[in-house]
């Protein structure tokens, strides 16, 4: 049997979301479908970094679901899995502040993640 090494993707994350991932309470990461994320798949590793710092947190990708827009994503995945500290409407506002309409039009990704113990 051949053992393969998981692909590692490095992504920046805002502090408030980083802390939720590190605590294991955020289990769905939301991204737009940029070309560099098009091949993201279960079994991959994401190393989140707070931009401008050395702080990192690694997670394993459990699955990736694609949605037409952020509303469908939140309804399909459940807002509490994306951010357990904010309402659905607050999350939609926050996500759209990060990703303007032209980015959302690329398609959205719900990435189910599990914290890797270090």
Residue whose C-alpha is closest to residue 9's, from 36, 42, 32, 35? 36
**Residue ranges per structural domain of the chain:** 8-115
Which run of H or E residues covers position 33?
Answer: none
Residue-wise pLDDT for 86-108, tens only, equals: 999 999 999 999 999 999 999 99
Residue-wise pLDDT for 103-115, tens only, equals: 999 999 999 999 9
In the chain, at which residue ranges do the beta strands (DSSP E only) sit? Answer: 8-12, 28-32, 45-49, 56-67, 108-115
Q: What is the pLDDT of residue 4?
A: 63
| Topology (CATH level 3) of domain 8-115 | 2.30.130
Confidence of residue 46 (pLDDT cuts 50, 70, 90): very high
């Amino acid at each position: 049997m051949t053992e393969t090494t998981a692909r590692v993707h490095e992504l920046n994350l805002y502090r408030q979301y980083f802390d939720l991932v590190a605590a294991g309470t955020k289990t769905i990461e939301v991204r737009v479908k940029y070309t560099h994320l098009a091949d993201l798949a279960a079994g991959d590793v994401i190393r989140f970094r707070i931009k401008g710092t050395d702080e990192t947190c690694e997670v394993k990708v459990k699955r990736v679901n694609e949605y037409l827009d952020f509303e469908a994503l939140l309804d399909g995945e459940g807002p509490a899995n994306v951010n357990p500290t904010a309402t659905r409407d607050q999350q939609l506002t926050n996500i759209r502040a990060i990703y303007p309409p032209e980015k959302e039009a690329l398609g959205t990704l719900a990435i189910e993640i599990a914290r890797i113990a270090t």
